[in-house]
């Protein structure tokens, strides 16, 4: 079942909040009946995209990630904007890691007109997309395929990535904790993200605002270890986390001249 335009807009609105959205706000925003909004929210809840709470919705609280197809539709325009911002930063001839997930997949899409790169990835969708740019050399890691996530995992995959030292390591996360911890949903995902951070001259975290304060059980590292953080929106609590780090912030909702590497 495809999401309706209104359901996609509801998810986008939820991403712009502190993680909760009231039904009354939605009925007012869309000028529809309570019954219509209730139907939308029930459908989103049945797909696992939101959690119903008294009077509204929140992001699901779970220790397993949403399905890949569901993640593809959450905050899609924000992910595309993040991807475009990353693609513009990559110089011709650079070598990069491209990690798993739907935002790195959007980065691959944004690279279709890039003048030339070497890409090492375990993201099958990204690899297939990059085949359409003959100026990009793509190396795909071996390992165990996760059919539901359309990527490769395991010790062989991590070992393959650790054979390289690249210019830029681009990766996503399962969630960002209130303490600035980078969280993932499995040890395998965490090991791969850690390899990308460790084996890149500059690590680039790509995470839309739906990841803020989202639960995930495995701790991968800290936001302060990341060289560049590209996101679509910066809540005050995340801004505070960056205040005492050297991490460069690129926030796509800000005008270009307001991008800063010294959050205040």
Condensed to tens digits (0 to 9), the pLDDT of residues 130-148 reads: 999 999 999 999 999 988 7
CA distances to 173, 204, 212 from 239, rounded to whole Å, are 18, 17, 11
Query: 3-state DSSP: the chain helix, strand, coil percent, rounded to 5?
Result: 40, 25, 35
CB 155 within 8 A of CB 142: no
CB 103 within 8 A of CB 208: yes
Place of tokens 């084996």: 199
pLDDT score for 80: 93
Q: What is the mean pLDDT of the chain?
A: 86
Q: What is the pLDDT of residues 175-190, one digit of tens each?
A: 898 889 999 989 999 9
- 195-199, 204-208, 233-237: which range is least confident on average? 233-237
What would you report as the CA-atom Rg of the chain, rounded to the nearest whole angstrom? 18
Asked whether the CA dihedral 157, 162, 168, 169 is positive or negative, the reply is positive
Q: Output the CA angle 100-103-109, nearest 5 degrees.
A: 100
Q: What is the pLDDT of residues 139-174, one digit of tens each?
A: 999 999 988 788 999 999 999 999 999 999 999 998
CATH number of 75-258: 3.40.50.1360
Q: What is the pLDDT of residues 229-258, one digit of tens each?
A: 999 988 787 888 888 889 999 999 865 544
Side by side, the strands of the sheet bearing 117-121 are 136-140, 117-121, 94-98, 166-171, 200-206, 228-231, 248-251
Q: What is the pLDDT of residues 22-67, one digit of tens each?
A: 999 899 899 999 899 989 998 888 877 788 888 888 876 654 555 4
What number is the average pLDDT over the span 125-132? 95
pLDDT score for 68: 46
**Topology at the third CATH level for domain 5-61:** Arc Repressor Mutant, subunit A (1.10.10)
For residue 194, pLDDT over 90 is answered with: yes
Instruction: Delimit the domains of the chain by residue range.
Output: 5-61, 75-258
What number is the average pLDDT over the span 72-81? 76
């Amino acid at each position: 079942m495809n999401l309706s335009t209104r359901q996609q807009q509801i998810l986008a609105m939820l991403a712009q909040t502190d993680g909760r959205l009231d039904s009354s706000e939605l009925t007012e925003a869309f000028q529809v009946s309570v019954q219509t909004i209730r139907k939308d929210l029930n459908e989103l809840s049945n797909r696992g995209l939101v959690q119903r709470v008294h009077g509204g919705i929140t992001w699901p609280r779970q220790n397993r990630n949403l399905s890949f197809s569901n993640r593809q539709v959450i905050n899609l325009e924000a992910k595309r904007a993040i991807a475009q911002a990353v693609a513009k930063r990559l110089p011709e001839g650079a070598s990069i890691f491209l990690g798993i997930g739907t935002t790195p997949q959007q980065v691959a899409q944004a690279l279709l007109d890039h003048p030339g790169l070497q890409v090492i990835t375990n993201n099958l969708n990204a690899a297939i997309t990059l085949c359409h740019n003959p100026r990009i050399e793509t190396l795909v890691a071996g390992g165990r395929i996760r059919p539901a996530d359309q990527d490769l995992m395991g010790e062989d995959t991590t070992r393959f990535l650790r054979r390289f030292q690249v210019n830029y390591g681009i990766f996503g996360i399962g969630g960002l904790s209130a303490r600035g911890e980078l969280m993932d949903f499995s040890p395998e995902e965490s090991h791969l993200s850690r390899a990308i951070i460790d084996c890149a001259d500059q690590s680039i975290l790509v995470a839309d605002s739906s990841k803020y304060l989202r639960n995930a059980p495995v701790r991968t590292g800290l936001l302060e270890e990341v060289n560049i953080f590209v996101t679509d929106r910066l809540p005050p609590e995340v801004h505070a986390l960056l205040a005492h780090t050297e991490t460069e912030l690129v926030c796509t909702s800000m005008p270009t001249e307001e991008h800063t590497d010294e959050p205040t």
